[in-house]
Amino acid sequence: MMEGPAKKIGLYLHIPFCKRKCPYCDFFSVCAGEERFDEYTDALCRSIGYYSEKYGRTADTLYFGGGTPSLIGEQRLGMICREARKYFGLENAEITLEVNPEKKNIGFEDLLKSGFNRLSIGLQSSDDNELRLLGRLHDSKDADRCVRQAQNAGFENISLDLMIATPSQTGESLLRSIDFCASHGVKHISAYLLKIEKSTHYYKIKDSLLLPDEDRQAEMYLFAVEKLSEYGYRQYEISNFSLPGYESRHNLKYWHDEEYLGFGPAAHSFIDGRRFYFERSFEDFFDNKTTDDGEGGDEEEFIMLGLRLAEGITKESYQKRFGRDMPDELIKKAAALSKGGYTLVDDEGIRLTKKGFLMSNAVIAHIIS
């Protein structure tokens, strides 16, 4: 990596609590009460101070993910936010909070006062039957109320999460969910294909779930991409779409292979050329015990992450990052895949097509092999 002035980093704060575990979810999250929330808030604040001292960096994005961060309440969130600001500056920062719509009366005004300026709301679907099958605690009315309350309070930058290829979902119901997002005027949509992970309840009952096969999943994904584009949401990453200027600054740091610190069980960090993470354990986090994950930021990683973006990897970004031209061999490998319609290679650089996005793991593996 080329030397230069230290860039501002991103901060990720994992809030590992949920009201109830969704049957398809393999994120690290547990059900807990007020006492645990307090204990965890204190641990996060300590950790923020410790890593600030250790790395002496400033940050310009802060992302509260989970779990259900909104569950711990505006007061604790405000306290953590203040601590992060005290130690990492956060000047003109994007500060995002993940919110689930089931919680009524979220104090959006208080959140704004604490400095939050972006919300990521877990809609998943606007179809009540699909939400029930996903084990979610909200229905479409809750989601509608949540988005409107946030907007009325003054949140302008709102993202909604959508899931594609869930049990019983049809093209029509997916379109209704996309319509829900567009009609609420949200600026950003994350649309993920449901993946059945081994550790989940869904995995145990997968044969009874009536899930669409791979071809149908692909059709539904491409359908969503097309409809979102008709509504003006530009696809800037495999699963992320936004109106112009509303791309997630925090998540772009991951895909640009930039530095960040992650706090909490299962949170990952990449800083000063090294990757490390906290295991999925409260005890390890409370004891500040991390696991080293080796060096980060090499060429392979840069390509792997960059190709997830619609802009792909440009010759300019490659030169800027490594101080040399993009290798011919890399360009040739990517060009070979353009015949099958998976990549686009031109004077700018290399990027994946929509068809390439669908097979991104295999396409990227081939390019970096």
Residue matched to tokens 């997002």:
181
Of 9, 11, 13, 22, the residue at the interface with ligand SF4 (CB under 6 A) is: 22
**CA distances from residue 104 to 136, 137, 139, 142, 147 in whole angstroms, order as listed:** 15, 12, 12, 8, 11
Contacts of residue 126, Cβ cutoff 8 Å, sequence gap at least 6 = 140, 143, 176, 177, 179, 180
Q: Is 69 in the site for ligand SF4 (CB under 6 A)?
A: no
Omega before 56 within 30 of 0, i.e. cis: no
**CA distances from residue 134 to 65, 175, 355 in whole angstroms, order as listed:** 20, 18, 27
Residue closer to ligand SF4, measured from CB, 22 or 146: 22
**Cβ at position 10, least distance to ligand SF4 in Å:** 20
Q: Is 169 in the site for ligand SF4 (CB under 6 A)?
A: no
Of 47, 61, 96, 100, the residue at the interface with ligand SF4 (CB under 6 A) is: 100
Q: Is 27 in the site for ligand SF4 (CB under 6 A)?
A: yes
Residue closer to ligand SF4, measured from CB, 195 or 320: 195
Closest alpha carbon to 126 in 142, 148, 149, 103: 142
Window 288-317: residues binding ligand SF4 (CB under 6 A):
none
- Measured in Å, how far apart are the chain's first and last C-alpha atoms? 21
Stretch binding ligand SF4 (CB under 6 A), from 4-12, 17-25, 235-243, 281-289: 17-25
Stretch binding ligand SF4 (CB under 6 A), from 14-22, 262-270, 292-300, 359-367: 14-22
Stretch binding ligand SF4 (CB under 6 A), from 60-68, 167-175, 210-218, 289-297: 60-68
Q: Positive or negative, the Cα torsion across 274, 55, 57, 39?
A: positive
Q: Is 21 in the site for ligand SF4 (CB under 6 A)?
A: yes
Closest alpha carbon to 245 in 94, 139, 33, 358: 94
3-state SS assignment for residue 217: helix
Residue matched to tokens 């990453």:
237
- The type of residue at 128 is D
Stretch binding ligand SF4 (CB under 6 A), from 18-26, 46-54, 142-150, 184-192: 18-26
**Cβ at position 136, least distance to ligand SF4 in Å:** 7
Site residues for ligand SF4 per CB under 6 A: 18, 21-22, 25, 27, 29, 66-68, 100, 122
